[in-house]
Amino acid sequence: MTEAVLRVKDLQTQFQTRAGVLKAVDGVSFEVRRGRILGLVGESGSGKSVTGYSILGLIEPPGKIAGGEVLLNGKDLTRLKGEAMRKVRGAQIAMVFQDPMMTLNPVLKIGTQMIAAVRAHDRVSRKAARARARDALAKVGIPSPDERLEAYPHQLSGGMRQRVAIAIALLHNPAVIIADEPTTALDVSIQGQILAEVRRLADETGTAFVWVTHDLAVVSSLADDICVMYAGRVVESGPAADVIASPRHPYTAGLLASVPAEHELGTKLPQVPGSTPSLANLPPGCAFAPRCAKAGPACTTTPPVQHFEDGRTALCHYPIEPVSCQPLSSTSTAYRSAS
C-alpha cells in the first residue's frame, strides 16, 4: 500500500454570516493514494464542494479555513499563502468544475486559455506550450486537437468542453485532481464516456482524484473509496464496494435505498424523510438524528467515530450491523428492517 498523496485532517471551513458562524466543513478527514479515486458523496449543502474549494485554498471571504491540515505529499497547503499557494494550484493539485458551459471563458480561444494555463507554471515558449496543450487534448480523447485549439468554447459540446477542462487540469500532471460534480450537467451517455476516461487516466498517469458528487450511481462505478458527508461532517467512509454493499451509517443506507435503479418495480420508492438541516441551526449531537429511524436517546450527544474492519468508519451511536455478501437491494432491507 503506497503512501497517501493527499491527506485531509480535521478540516474546518467556516463562513462568518449575520446568522452567526456557519460550519460548512466541520472536522473532515480523509486520504487519497496515488492513482486512486475517492468519491465524496453528499446532498446539496453537505459541505462536499466547500471541502473541494478549501483544499485548493479557493475559499473567499466571508469564508475561511478555521483549522485542520491539508497535506499534499506531506506539505500543509493551509499554511501556504499568496504566491506559494498559486504555484501549487494547477501544478500539483488541480480542479474541474461542475458546469462545463461556465468554466471556460467564452471570449477566449481554447488554445489561448490552455497556453495561459501551461505558462502559469512553466516558462516555455508559446509554441512549446501549444504543443503541450494539443497533447493534453489528445490524451483525454478529443479528436483533431489542433483544430480544437483554434475553437471558442461555444463551438464545442458540453461533453467536449468538460474534456477540455479535464485536459487543462491534467496539463501539469498534478498529484491530485479535485472534480466537483463534473458530469452532473452532462447526458448519461457522455457521462459514461467521461467516467471511463477518468478511470483510465487515474490508472495510467497515477493522478489521484477526489470526485465530489451527489450521485451514488457514479460513485459505485468509479470510485475506489467513499466518504459520505452530511452537514459538514464525514458520516461514513470506507472502500466503495463495501460501503455500498453494506452501509454502516443509517444516512448512507437511506441514500442507497432511494436509488431507483435498485428498487423493485411497482412499490413505493423509499426516501430519507425530512430535508437537510440549515447549517445555522443544527440539532445538538448527531445532525442526522431528527431524520433517522434508528435514533435513540444517545443521539443528542456528539456521536463517536466508530472504526470497523477494512479501515471503515461511521459517525454514529447505533451503526447498522454488517450484512455480509448480500446483493445491493438487500441493503435497503437492512435499513427498513431496522426502522
149 interacts with other proteins by CB under 8 A: no
**Based on CB atoms, which residue is closest to other proteins, 61 or 74?**
61
Residues within window 96-135 making contact with other proteins, judged by CB under 8 A: 97, 99, 102-108, 112-113, 116-117, 120-121
- Provide the pairing of β-strand 20-33 with 4-17: antiparallel
Smallest separation (angstroms) from other proteins to the CB of 59: 11
Smallest separation (angstroms) from other proteins to the CB of 228: 25
**Based on CB atoms, which residue is closest to other proteins, 12 or 113?**
113
156 interacts with other proteins by CB under 8 A: no
158 interacts with other proteins by CB under 8 A: no
86 interacts with other proteins by CB under 8 A: yes
Cβ–Cβ < 8 Å for 174, 91? yes
**Strands across the sheet containing 225-230:** 93-96, 176-180, 208-213, 37-41, 225-230, 233-239, 313-315, 305-307
Q: And the C-alpha cell for 7?
A: 491527506
Task: Kindly tell me which residue out of 9, 29, 33, 58 binds other proteins, with binding defined by CB under 8 A.
Answer: 58
Smallest separation (angstroms) from other proteins to the CB of 113: 8
- Provide the pairing of β-strand 233-239 with 313-315: antiparallel
CA 51 to chain centre: 8
**Based on CB atoms, which residue is closest to other proteins, 20 or 62?**
62
The number of residues that bind other proteins (CB under 8 A) is 32
Smallest separation (angstroms) from other proteins to the CB of 108: 7
Nearest to 181 by CA among 85, 40, 279: 40
80 interacts with other proteins by CB under 8 A: no
Cβ–Cβ < 8 Å for 259, 217? yes
CA 40 to chain centre: 4
Task: Kindly tell me which residue out of 71, 91, 217, 323 binds other proteins, with binding defined by CB under 8 A.
Answer: 91
Nearest to 184 by CA among 155, 217, 207: 217
In the chain, the amino acid numbered 261 is A
Sorted by sequence, the CB contacts under 8 Å of residue 312 that are 6+ apart come out as 236, 237, 238, 239, 242, 243, 248
Residues within window 291-330 making contact with other proteins, judged by CB under 8 A: none
**Based on CB atoms, which residue is closest to other proteins, 53 or 251?**
53
**Based on CB atoms, which residue is closest to other proteins, 25 or 164?**
164
Which residues form the interface with other proteins (CB under 8 A)?
56, 58, 61, 86-91, 94-95, 97, 99, 102-108, 112-113, 116-117, 120-121, 152, 154, 165, 168-169, 171
